[in-house]
Amino acid sequence: MSTSVTASPAKSAAPGLRTPRKKHTPGKPKRNVLLTVLMALMVLYTVVPLIWLIINSTKTQAGLADSNGLWFAHDFALWDNVRDTFTYHDGIFGRWLLNTLLYVGLGAGGATLLAVLGGYALAKFQFPGRRAVFAVVIGAVAVPGTALAVPTFLMFSKMGLTDTPSAVIIPSLVSPFGLYLMWVFAAEAIPTELLEAARMDGASEVRTFFQVALPLLAPGIVTVLLFTTVATWNNYFLPLIMLKDPDWYPLTLGLSAWSSQAQTIGGDVIFNLVITGSLLTILPLIAAFLFLQKHWQSGLAAGSVKE
Amino acid sequence: MRRTTSRILRGIALVSTLALGVTACGGSDDDSDTKAVSAGDIQAALDKGGDITVWAWEPTLKTVAADFQKKYPKVKVNLVSERSGDKHYTALSNAISAGKGVPDVAQVEYFALGQYSLTKGLTDLAPYGADKLASKYTPGPWNAVSDGDKVYGLPMDSGPMALFYNKTVFDKYKIAVPTTWDEYLDAARKLHKADPKAYITSDLGDAGLTTSLLWQAGSRPYKVDGTKLGVNFDDAGAKKYETVWQQLISEKLLAPVNGWTDDWYKGLGDGTIATLATGAWMPANFATGVPNAKGQWRAAPMPAWTKGDKASAENGGSSLAVPTLAKNKELAYAFTEYANSGAGVATRISEGAFPATKAELESPAFQSKKFDYFDGQEANKIFADSAANVASDWSYLPFQPYANSIFNDTVGKAYVSGTKLADGLKAWQDASVKYGEEQGFTIQK
């Protein structure tokens, strides 16, 4: 292994003797056996389930039962599975996909919009109670959504909103973490001087926001959008307690309902469709990450280096 | 029939159950539905038409609902079928406690009926004429849906128990099909010795299986009389069960696989789980879940606890019930009767459901049905025999879903640590009693 040739970090960090630090250029990163091993484990941990998912979505129910999980069965039924996934139960999977898109579009989209507006205001405007807002937001980041699910259910139930799409969309609109991220990002990414210059030139606050601030916030917006999209796309617990009508299920609930058919007397066992459906469910997320990757990375690095 | 219960769901179910209790205490002043509803009233409702919502996962109900709408064109049946098990009860309890979105008809398994009937969550169907249907059903299911002169649902299917065994595996190792539980224990040893990867069955703690086996062994742990309760796992029947099952556990003769998971289906398919003592509804699950093992499996009568004893028990099975908050009770009852007592029964049996009605169980057409999956065996004869031998004096707790949810924390320990099964049952008993007291039941010692 070539990694073992490099000087180990323990040697180079001899006490008292500050060896001149090596220059690390992006083309020649420093090597570290421990980190490499940890990284390899990480890759295994994340990639093996994905490989499992891809391999097993090519099997029929019978193939699933009598073949090794990490290799193909004698039958290749991927296309049949995809077709069956979309046609089973009068094509309800398609409906669930549209529901998920609706919840993500309105929920995650709305959450991002609110986070951008709020984060910008908190970062760039002085007003009484700012510290209190800060405390509330930080506190809210610490509260897991699961803990709020039951109180939210009871509240929505009083308002007569349960079992409607708004019961899933409205709670998704609030993303304390997104707000916090936008706040920090806006504070770093928009020089106050720039805003002052815009104001001096006579631009209204609205125009300043849209034409000066918003373009600078783009990487942050993409980051928050990704986070809220993933959170809403994968949300299981909130829709589980809010929705009863399967016509309004998101994909997560629908797939779990299909999976639990196998645990039911007389139920149709369709693990093959559950697996194929799961694969289809993560494809849009993977696509989103690949397409938005560039913006996302520049967003994470912003403000880390003083020019 | 037990699934791995997520702790969160269990918490939700608990919250809902409590809320349900509160609602029942607060709003029990509507005892107005005790007046009789004549057949004419129901016919008038059918002629007038309307919408009813049915929450049921039973797959054959789809055809039944379509037929029902064809017969009564003014009635629209909205069949909601994606939920089952725990999630179904969570949703039902939530809807009842919220007082909104309650279905007109709900599928409720026998073990869960008590929870809803006791909190007045279900309509007494006797005034609608359900009390006259008693003689149509086998005693086990009817006993489960009725309480004195009240009827809280109509039996939809039943689960008289049988022993399903993998004939290919049994033939391979020349093991005789056990007729008593002692022989079963011997078969377990012989099989596991011949093939260390094979087990006689899988069990990691399943409340439904344990209660069914206790039922068959003659144990009657639960005594329920209104709000008076007794829980006692210390009788002769329970001793018989403990003795055999303790040896199966201690000698590691049970596959460490949770029921109803993909591993379990896999085990049933590849011969590493060789038998299954369960309800007569299992053939349908075999056919869709383990299609590759077609021809390998057969049905046999349940092993007896004492040689020659024919006693059997029920495992699973469910009813259709009409919640108290249902909007259109006449139509709801009409549908329930159609599906579970009328023309729907034949439809459901033809699609593979196992009946709870005597006439169908005894009919020659039903008994001589050849099961392709079992290589042409006329398995219904065994199931019908079992149904006739189910003792009818068994009762579940009024909070059996809760009790089942704590089974793995109590009895389940015997499967994973050195705890004795008897101690596990004692712990389950204590926890059930404690919960019962908290719910306001009087506990009889």
Could you write out the three-class secondary structure of A55-121? HHCCCCHHHHHCCCCCCCCCCCCHHHHHHHHHHHHHHHHHHHHHHHHHHHHHHHHHHHHHHHHHHHH
The confidence score (pLDDT) of residue B215 equals: 96
Those residues with Cβ within 8 angstroms of residue A105's Cβ, 6 or more apart along the chain or in another chain: none
Rounded CA separation A267/A142 (Å): 40
Contact A270, A262 (CB under 8 A): yes
- Summarize the confidence of residues A53-66 as an average pLDDT: 88
| Max CA distance (Å), chain B | 67
Distance from CA of B86 to the nearest CA of A (A): 10
Please tell me whether residue B274 adopts helix, strand or coil conformation: coil
Q: Which residue of A has its CA nearest to B6?
A: A237
In this model, does residue A48 exceed pLDDT 70? yes
Rounded CA separation B326/B203 (Å): 39
In this model, does residue A24 exceed pLDDT 60? no
Rounded CA separation B110/A295 (Å): 56
Contact B173, B196 (CB under 8 A): no
For chain A, counts of helices (H) and of strands (E): 15, 0
Is the CB of B288 inside 8 Å of chain A's CB atoms? Answer: yes
Handedness of CA B384, B389, B393, B399 (dihedral sign): negative
- Summarize the confidence of residues A54-59 as an average pLDDT: 93
When scoring B158, B262, B281, B350 by the number of chain A Cβ atoms within 10 A, the one with the most, hence best to mutate, is B262
- Contact between A265 and B292 using a beta-carbon 8 Å cutoff: no
What percent of chain A is modeled with pLDDT above 90? 46
Residues 216-245 of A with CB under 8 A from B: 237, 240-241, 244-245
The confidence score (pLDDT) of residue A301 equals: 55
Contact B165, B274 (CB under 8 A): yes
Count of C-beta atoms within a 10 Å radius of residue B227: 12
| CA A19 to chain CA centroid, nearest Å | 42
Is the CB of B136 inside 8 Å of chain A's CB atoms? Answer: no
| CA B352 to chain CA centroid, nearest Å | 17
The confidence score (pLDDT) of residue A302 equals: 58
ipTM: 0.74
The confidence score (pLDDT) of residue A160 equals: 86
Q: Which residue of A has its CA nearest to B269?
A: A65
| CA A264 to chain CA centroid, nearest Å | 32
The confidence score (pLDDT) of residue B24 equals: 41
In this model, does residue A300 exceed pLDDT 60? no
How many Å is the Cα radius of gyration of chain B?
22
Q: Which residue has the tokens 């094509």?
A: A91
The token duo for B104 is 């007109």
Those residues with Cβ within 8 angstroms of residue A124's Cβ, 6 or more apart along the chain or in another chain: A186, A187, A190, A192, A195, A213
Angle at B104 between CA B103 and CA B106, to 5 degrees: 65
Confidence of residue A274 (pLDDT cuts 50, 70, 90): very high
Q: At what angle do helices B85-98 and A145-158 cross, to 10 degrees?
A: 40
The confidence score (pLDDT) of residue A304 equals: 52
Angle at B169 between CA B168 and CA B173, to 5 degrees: 115
Percentages (nearest 5) of helix, strand, coil residues in chain A:
75, 0, 25
More confident residue, A265 or B68: B68
- Contact between A65 and B101 using a beta-carbon 8 Å cutoff: no
| Max CA distance (Å), chain A | 74
Q: What is the mean pLDDT of chain A?
A: 85
Residues of chain B contacting residue A144, judged by C-beta atoms under 8 Å apart: none
Distance from CA of B88 to the nearest CA of A (A): 9
- Contact between B353 and A245 using a beta-carbon 8 Å cutoff: no
Sheet holding B318-321, edge to edge: B75-80, B50-55, B105-109, B318-321, B154-155
Span A132-172, pLDDT tens digits: 998 999 898 888 877 888 889 889 988 988 889 999 999 99
Is the CB of A249 inside 8 Å of chain B's CB atoms? Answer: yes
Residues of chain B contacting residue A157, judged by C-beta atoms under 8 Å apart: 94, 98, 100
In this model, does residue A66 exceed pLDDT 80? no
How does pLDDT run along chain B (445 residues), one tens digit per residue? 434 334 444 444 444 444 444 344 433 334 444 578 888 889 999 999 999 999 998 888 999 999 999 999 999 999 988 777 777 888 888 888 878 889 999 999 999 998 898 888 999 999 999 999 999 998 889 999 998 889 999 999 999 999 999 999 999 999 999 999 999 999 999 999 999 999 999 999 999 999 999 999 999 999 988 889 999 999 999 999 999 999 999 999 999 999 988 889 999 999 999 999 999 999 988 988 898 899 999 999 999 999 999 999 999 899 999 999 999 999 999 999 999 999 999 999 988 889 999 999 999 999 999 999 999 999 999 999 999 999 888 999 999 989 999 999 999 999 998 899 999 999 999 999 999 999 899 998 7
Contact B57, B81 (CB under 8 A): yes
The confidence score (pLDDT) of residue A269 equals: 84
Please tell me whether residue B192 adopts helix, strand or coil conformation: helix
Residues 213-272 of B with CB under 8 A from A: 260, 262, 265-266, 268-270
Of A103-112, A177-186, A217-226, B86-95, the one with minimum mean pLDDT is: B86-95
Please report, as a single letter, which amino acid is at residue A305.
Answer: V
The token duo for A173 is 């609109």
